[in-house]
Structure 1
C-alpha cells in the first residue's frame, strides 16, 4: 500500500470533567428519568506523527459513560501507532473491529470518535485548510440557533431575557425545551416566547423524547399556530414509526436523531421517513468518518440537517452539507478552548484557522482527571 511517508508516533488521551455553571434540567428530569446535569465528561485525544504533525479531537458523555469511553480508548489507541495518519477511513474500520465484541455503536464507537476527529484535524492542519474546506465547503457560514438559554430549569421570564441576549449576540434563532408533565405549561411557555420574539424569529421546541404518541399528536396540532421551524424529539428516539406518522400528519417539521449512536441506526430512521430534519451528533456516532457516510445518505433523501451540540465540530460538517443546514449554539464548551466561534447576522462563520481551529485551554488542563499516552 502506498503511504505518505508519515506514521503515527504517539497518542495522548485525557479524561476531562467540565463543570456547568448551574444544574441543567430538561423534560427527562421533570419526568423523573434523569437527574439534573452538573458536568460533562470529555475524552480528548491528541495524535502526533513522526513528521511532527498534530491533531486534536474529542468525544463526550452527559451524566454517565465518560469513564467507559476513556477506558475503551486506552485499549485501542495503540492500534494507531505506526499507521499512516492519512488513511482515516481504513483506520476507523481497524479501531472499530478492535472493539467489535462490545458492539459497533454506542460507547465503543464514541471512544473512536475522539481519535477520528484528531486524525481529521491533523489532515486538515497538514493541508493548511479549515476542515470545512478540506471536506469541500458549500458555504462560509451556517445558520445558528441557541438552545442553552431555554432549558426547563430556567423560569419563563429568564428564558425571554436569554432569547433577547442571543439575538443581540447575532444568533439567528431560539430553541426552548418542552415536555413537562403539564402540557398546559408547555403551551403557555411557547406562547410567551413566540409573543416575545414576534413572528419573524425562527423558533424551535424540544420535548426530549417525553411525549407518548397521543400527546405528541395533540401537542403537534396545538403548536402549529406558532410557525415553528421544527418539533424536536417528540417521541422515544427509536420510535421511528411514531415520528413518521407525526411527520406525515403535521405541517411543522419533525426533527430527531441526536440520541442515535451509529450510521446504521440513522439509516433505519431515514428508511422509515421518521425525520424531516436529521440531527446526527458526530461524537456520538463515531466521528467525522461515519458522519460523512450519513450525510451522503441524508443528502440523497434531501433531508434538512441540524447536527446536535458540539458546534465547534459541527460547524465544519454543516458547512460541507449541500442543503442549507442549521448548527446548534451552546456556549458550554467555550472554557475548554482558547478560540471562540464568530457569529454575525444570524450565522456562525467557519473559522479560517487550519483543521478544527481549536486549541485546548489551560482551564481544560485543570479539569483533567486522568491522562494516558501510548508507549
Structure 2
C-alpha cells in the first residue's frame, strides 16, 4: 500500500440471496452490506434502494427487517421519522428503500433479511441493483483542488460490487408450479378383473379450493363414463370426480386446499381391459384454477396393462368327513384366485375319480 493512500468512502460489497424458489411460498431475502469506511448519513437524509425484486408480493409501506444482530438493522428506517429496523417497500417497482439514520461502520458485515411471497409462475432470478442517495462520496472541485463530499444526487452502485447468490438462492428465482410427487399404482394386473388405482400427489405450491385436477391417459378400462367414487386416505379433499372412458380421463375438483409439499393419497375402482394391452397406460397429470396452473407432466407408474390371465393360484382339498370305504364323504376345499369371481359363476372340478 502507498503511504497516505486514501480510498473514497463507499459501499464495498452487497450480497443478496433467498431462502426458496418454490412458487407461492414465503421467501426470505437476505442482504449482506459492507462499507470500506465509516459512513454517516447526510444532513439532507441518506438512503439505499435495492431492487427490483421482480414478482415479489408484499404490501406497500413499511416492512420489518430481521437480523441476529439487532444493531445491523437499527441503522435503517422506512422513513426518516420511521421506526428503527424497518424499510419501505414499493410494490409497483419491486424496490426496497432503507433510510440510513446512523453511522454504518467499516470492517464488518451488516446482515439483515425481509420476507416476501414468491409469484405462482416460474421466472428467472432478478438482476437486483443498488442506488444510494446522500451516502457515498464523490469528487467536488477541479484538478488537485478536488475534494470528496457526500453526493446530493443518487449514485448507482457498481455492478461488480453486487453479488447475487447462485442457482436456487438467486433472488426471486421461482420454479414452475408442479406435482413433485405424482405416483400411480394398481392392485391387480388381471385382464377383465376388478382393479383399484391409487394416486399419491404432492404439489410444490398451495393448490386452492375449486382446482380441477386432471389425470389423463388411463386408457383401456371397461368402466363406463360418468361420476366416479373417490376413496382412500384423502378422499374428502375432493368435492366431486368424473370419469371419461374413451380418453381414460379422471377429473377431480378440490374442496379444500391441497397444501404444498404434503402428500395426498386417494383411489378409484375401475375394471381392467378385457384383453391384454400391448403397453400399459402411462398417465399424465395437470391442474387448473383461477390462480394456479400446473402444467401437464407424466406420472410415475404403469397401470391397466391387463397382462395376467385370471387363474386359481391355489386349489387344495384340505379335509374330508370320512376315509372309510362306502359311506358318503364331504370334501372341504380351499380356492385362491388372482381376481374376483362373480356371483352365479360356475366352478368345474374334475379328477375326483373313484366316487360312486
Larger relative contact order (C-alpha < 8 A, sep ≥ 6)? Answer: 1
**TM-score, normalised on structure 1?**
0.18
**TM-score, normalised on structure 2?**
0.18
Which structure has the larger Rg over C-alpha atoms?
2
